Amino acid sequence: MRIIYAVFALLLNISIFAQNHDKELRDLYYSGKFNELVQLSEEYLKSDSLNPVFNLWHGEGLVELGFFNKGKPYVQKAIEYIGDNDSRKAWALNYLARIEFLTQNKLKAKQLFIDCIDSNTSPKAIESSKFLLVELGLHDFYSDFEVVESEHITFHFQPNSIVSNKDEFVELRENAFQKISEFFGVKIPKKIDFIIWNSNEDAKKLGIKSLGYANAKFCVIHSRSNQTRGHEITHVITHYLANDQIKTRFINEGIAVCFDLSNNNRLEIINNQKEKDSTQVIVSIKEAWTNPKAYPEWVYYPLAGEFVFRILDKWGKNKLIDLIKNQTYENALLIYGEELNAIISELENEIN
Ligand SMILES: [Zn+2]
């Protein structure tokens, strides 16, 4: 009898242990600490390699860090060992769909998102799959969009597109892609899916947020027809400079504006925008850098673009790449030294 109790107590302990580990891993996932998630789940898998939950957290962490090929067998193992009624099965299907999309298997990805929705278990996973079907351009809604392929981009034009010269539109963006990816020396995992909408309202009807934007991780762009050729493409390319970047709005948007290939006069745009503002703002670049909502939009677009242009001009590409990987003001000070503050003051004096 005593042995039975001992075994029972041991099993109970193991189960409590596993639950604690699960909570620990879940907390890391939801706080975006994917490096730590991968390390810790790997540790737990060493003594419990078939544990479906540890496999799933490990696979999800790897996918979030951009190592989707490496994450695939873990997610597959989770699908194999998790029961059909368990809500985690839905997440495993959702993540395998993401992996298939990133490896250009769109039909498989679509089916897996649908399987996740049909599993009818985790409302959050189902919501995510429904949204990704739309955002990644996989939804049936897109079947009447006109698809045009260039070397690095798949274009999807809304029916009755307001783009009058599609050949020119495609060529300009393909050339922009080649120029920007060559500059940064980056290879992205798949062709960009470039979806061109006639209006914000049309996109909104389907659940797409305000145009235009890039989901850089999936190399997907939702664009208005009149956006600059380089802005969203730059978001996608620079995302793949490092897989655990620390992004700030000021630098991330500044880089996209700096490389938008538009030849816009940024200072002129800043002055025009300032005139339109109802209240006069005195801009502190450091404040804009650390607070993504402190100022009107023009501070985070043309002004940030001008700032990035100046530091690139003065200190060159390699240091800019270091900044893209960790975009905080503190890291910029480490990279550029105190002279950074002189550049900041100079630009502030010009615009305030
Ligand atoms: Zn942007």
DSSP SS3 for 192:
strand
Checking if the pLDDT of 10 tops 90, the result is no
In percent, the amount of the chain with pLDDT more than 70 equals: 95
Checking if the pLDDT of 103 tops 70, the result is yes
Eight-class DSSP state of 280: -
Q: Residue 8: its pLDDT value, please? A: 55
Q: How do residues 157-177 score in pLDDT, each as one tens digit?
A: 999 999 999 999 999 999 999
Please give the average per-residue pLDDT across 296-323, as a whole number. 97
Checking if the pLDDT of 238 tops 60, the result is yes
Q: Residue 7: its pLDDT value, please? A: 54
Please give the average per-residue pLDDT across 314-318, as a whole number. 97
Q: Cα(345)–Cα(350) distance, rounded to whole angstroms?
A: 9
Query: Measured at the alpha carbon of residue 137, what is the angle toward residues 166 and 157, in degrees to the nearest 5?
Result: 15
Q: Residue 9: its pLDDT value, please? A: 53
Compute, in angstroms, the gap from residue 141 CA to the centroid of ligand 1. 26
Compute, in angstroms, the gap from residue 29 CA to the centroid of ligand 1. 26
Compute, in angstroms, the gap from residue 279 CA to the centroid of ligand 1. 24
Compute, in angstroms, the gap from residue 202 CA to the centroid of ligand 1. 20
Compute, in angstroms, the gap from residue 232 CA to the centroid of ligand 1. 6
Q: Which CATH class for the 139-240 domain?
A: alpha beta
Checking if the pLDDT of 308 tops 70, the result is yes
Q: Which residue has the tokens 């009624």?
A: 85
Q: How do residues 206-224 score in pLDDT, each as one tens digit?
A: 999 889 999 999 999 999 9
Compute, in angstroms, the gap from residue 261 CA to the centroid of ligand 1. 13
Q: Any idea where the domains of the chain sit in the sequence?
A: 2-122, 139-240, 241-352
Q: Cα(134)–Cα(208) distance, rounded to whole angstroms?
A: 8
Q: In what order do the strands lie in the sheet with 220-224?
A: 146-149, 153-157, 192-197, 220-224, 213-215
Contacts of 231 (CB under 8 A, 6+ apart): 212, 256, 257, 259, 260
Q: How do residues 44-88 score in pLDDT, each as one tens digit?
A: 999 999 999 999 999 999 999 999 999 999 999 999 999 888 999
Compute, in angstroms, the gap from residue 211 CA to the centroid of ligand 1. 10
Q: Residue 143: its pLDDT value, please? A: 95
Checking if the pLDDT of 11 tops 60, the result is no
Q: Residue 20: its pLDDT value, please? A: 85
Question: For every residue of 196-213, which 3-state class applies, written as one string?
Answer: EECCHHHHHHHCCCCCCE
How many residues in total does the chain contain?
352
CATH topology for 2-122 is: 1.25.40
Q: Cα(89)–Cα(299) distance, rounded to whole angstroms?
A: 44
Compute, in angstroms, the gap from residue 229 CA to the centroid of ligand 1. 12
Q: Residue 280: its pLDDT value, please? A: 84
Compute, in angstroms, the gap from residue 2 CA to the centroid of ligand 1. 66
Q: Residue 244: its pLDDT value, please? A: 84
Fold equal for 2-122 and 139-240? no
Compute, in angstroms, the gap from residue 92 CA to the centroid of ligand 1. 31
Eight-class DSSP state of 114: H
Q: Cα(217)–Cα(230) distance, rounded to whole angstroms?
A: 17
Q: How do residues 120-163 score in pLDDT, each as one tens digit?
A: 889 999 999 999 999 999 999 999 999 999 999 999 999 999 99
Contacts 24+ apart (CB under 8 A), 246-249: 246/325, 246/326, 246/327, 246/328, 246/331, 247/327, 248/289, 248/290, 248/292, 248/327, 248/328, 248/329, 249/292, 249/300
pTM: 0.92
Compute, in angstroms, the gap from residue 235 CA to the centroid of ligand 1. 7
Compute, in angstroms, the gap from residue 299 CA to the centroid of ligand 1. 13
